Amino acid sequence: MKVAELNSMNDFELKGILVSLIGKAKRSELIQFVKALKEVTEKDNEDLSYNLTPEQEQELEQAIAETYHEENLISHDQALSELSRWLHK
């Protein structure tokens, strides 16, 4: 996924991608990612809280249910490849 594609997504879509990738990451990578995210958030002093519309809640519930379908799973290596774009090594 290219930066332009990420920039065109709304917050809900970006968070969905993160949730998908986080579920497949190693613990050490998650710790590194959380530290980096916390650092950025503290610098920006952003309020990351949000409220979902009823439609978004329904879409989220459906997306969560779909994560249990085997055809929606990706390999550990593929997930690491996706996460590596955001992790500094």
How does pLDDT run across 7-44, given as a tens digit for each residue?
788 888 888 888 888 888 888 888 888 888 888 777 66
CB atoms within 10 A of CB 76: 10
pLDDT value at position 49? 61
Residues 60 and 71: their CA atoms lie apart, in Å, by 18
User: What is the token pair recorded at 30?
Assistant: 């998650």
pTM: 0.36
pLDDT per position as a tens digit, 49-71: 667 888 988 998 898 888 888 88
Q: In sequence order, which residues have a C-beta less than 8 Å from that of residue 38 and are 6 or more positions away?
A: none
Q: Is the pLDDT of residue 46 over 70?
A: no
Amino acid making up residue 79: A
